[in-house]
Amino acid sequence: MPFTASWHTLLDELEDLPDGATLITPLSHKRFRITDVQEHRVIIEFEDADEKRPLQRDQFETLYRRVSDEPEGFELDRLPSDADPYPAVLSLHPRFEIDEDNGVIVKTEKPTSDQLLGSDSESTSEERTEPDLNIYADALLLVDALERHDVATLDDMETDGLVNLYTLLSDVQRNANEFRKNVADVLLNRLHHDRPVSGPYGSVQRTTRRNRTLKDEQEVLEILEEAGIDQERVMSVDRDKIDEALEVTELSESGVYEIDEREYVRKAEVDEEVKQTRLQGLKEQLAATEGEEADQLRQEIEELEDRIDELTSFRTGTEIKE
C-alpha cells in the first residue's frame, strides 16, 4: 500500500478518536492528546506540560518506510528522543502495532493494539481488588497505626505504641523491597536505552552498575609479576586470617581492630496472629460501614498506594536499582 493511502487511513482514525482520548509514548511513557488533525501534520499536546507540537507528515512517511523494510519490526530506540510520539500515533493505524516487550514497532496484517489509553482508562473503585500481597496487608496496618497515634511527637508516645510502629515499619520496608525487586525485574525488559520512562508518580531509567571481583589470587599475582609489579606492593592484611590468628593466640581483639560499638533497635519477633486479627477487623469494619463514613474509609484505603512511598522511607541507606 502506498504511503498516501496509509496516511489518509491514519488521519481517518485520528478524526474518529473520542474526546479526551489519551495516547502514551512507548519509550518515555509520556501522555499526550491529539488536538488537531491537518492534511500535512498532526498537532499534539502533552499532559504534563503546556506544550503543543506538530508531527509532520514527511516524518511519518520516513517511519512508515523504515518499519515496512523491517519484517521483524523497527527498533524504537533507534529513533531520536523527540520522535517518541510518532510511533504512538502510527500505532492507531490498523496495520501497525508497538511491541513494548521487544522494543519494536511492526507492520502486520493481524488485528493490532495501539497506544490509546482513552478518557476513562482509570480504574473505578468497583474494579478494585484486594491483592494477596504481604506489603498490602502490612501497609494497611501501618496506616491504621499512624492514624491512631500522634506520631508528630514520638517522645510522648507509649513504649508499646512505638514498638508496634517500629515492627510495622520494618515489615513494610522488607516486603516493599522484595516486591520492588519483582517489579524491577519486569520493568528491566521494558526499558530501552538510557531514556527515562515516566509514570504519574515519577520516572525510572535503565542503568548499569559495574561490580568487580578479583580472580584467583595466584593468577593475579603472576599477571602483576609479569608486568613488573612486586607482590609485596599489592599484598594486604587478610581479615579472615587475622580472625583465625586471634583464635589460636592470646592476642586481644582490640589489639588489631579499632572497635566502635553502637546500640540500635532490632526487631525480635512479630505476632502474626495479632496482626491478622487487627487486619481482619479493618476489613470487616470497611464491609459493615455504610454511608458517608464508608466512603471516607474507602477513600483512605484507595489512597494507600500514594502513601506507601512515604511509609517505606525508613531505610538504612540509599538503595540503587539492581
In tens, the pLDDT along 136-176 reads 888 888 888 888 888 888 998 899 889 989 999 999 999 99
- Answer yes or no: is 115 within a domain: no
- pLDDT grade, residue 301 (50/70/90)? low
CA distance 161 to 149: 8
CA distance 105 to 72: 9
pLDDT given at position 289: 59
Q: Are residues 176 and 285 in the same domain?
A: yes
Q: Are residues 199 and 225 in the same domain?
A: no
- Answer yes or no: is 114 within a domain: no
Q: Are residues 17 and 71 in the same domain?
A: yes
- The pLDDT tens digits for 194-248 are 667 777 667 788 777 777 877 888 888 888 888 888 878 877 778 888 888 888 8
pLDDT(32) > 60? yes
- The secondary structure element, H or E, covering residue 32 is strand 31-37
- Rounded to the nearest 5°, which phi and psi values hold at 37? -120, 120
- Answer yes or no: is 113 within a domain: no
Q: Are residues 200 and 278 in the same domain?
A: yes
- Answer yes or no: is 45 within a domain: yes
Q: Are residues 29 and 103 in the same domain?
A: yes
Residue where one domain finishes, among candidates 77, 107, 137:
107
Angle (nearest 5°) at CA 309 between 307 and 313: 120
* DSSP string over 258-281: --------------HHHHHHHHHH
pTM of the model: 0.52
Q: Are residues 134 and 8 in the same domain?
A: no
Q: Are 151 and 157 in contact (CB under 8 A)?
A: yes
Q: Are residues 195 and 222 in the same domain?
A: no
pLDDT given at position 67: 92
Q: Please count the structural domains in the chain.
A: 3
Q: Which amino acid is at 311?
A: L
- The secondary structure element, H or E, covering residue 177 is helix 159-188
**What is the domain extent for residue 278?**
125-209+267-311
Q: Are residues 80 and 138 in the same domain?
A: no
Q: Are residues 152 and 200 in the same domain?
A: yes
CA distance 170 to 313: 10
3-class state of residue 37 by DSSP: strand
Q: Which runs of consecutive H residues, i.e. helices, occur in 189-234?
A: 217-226, 231-234
Q: Are residues 129 and 194 in the same domain?
A: yes
CA distance 321 to 198: 16
- Answer yes or no: is 205 within a domain: yes
- Answer yes or no: is 172 within a domain: yes
pLDDT(288) > 70? no
Q: Are residues 233 and 185 in the same domain?
A: no
CA of residue 204 relative to chain centroid, distance: 6
Q: Which residue has the cell 477487623?
A: 281
Q: Are residues 63 and 143 in the same domain?
A: no
Q: Which residue has the cell 508496634?
A: 164
The CA–CA distances, whole Å, from 32 to 16, 22, 36, 124 equal 16, 6, 12, 22
* DSSP string over 63-115: HHHHHHT-TT-EEGGGS-GGGTHHHHHHTTSTTEEEETTTTEEEE-SS----S
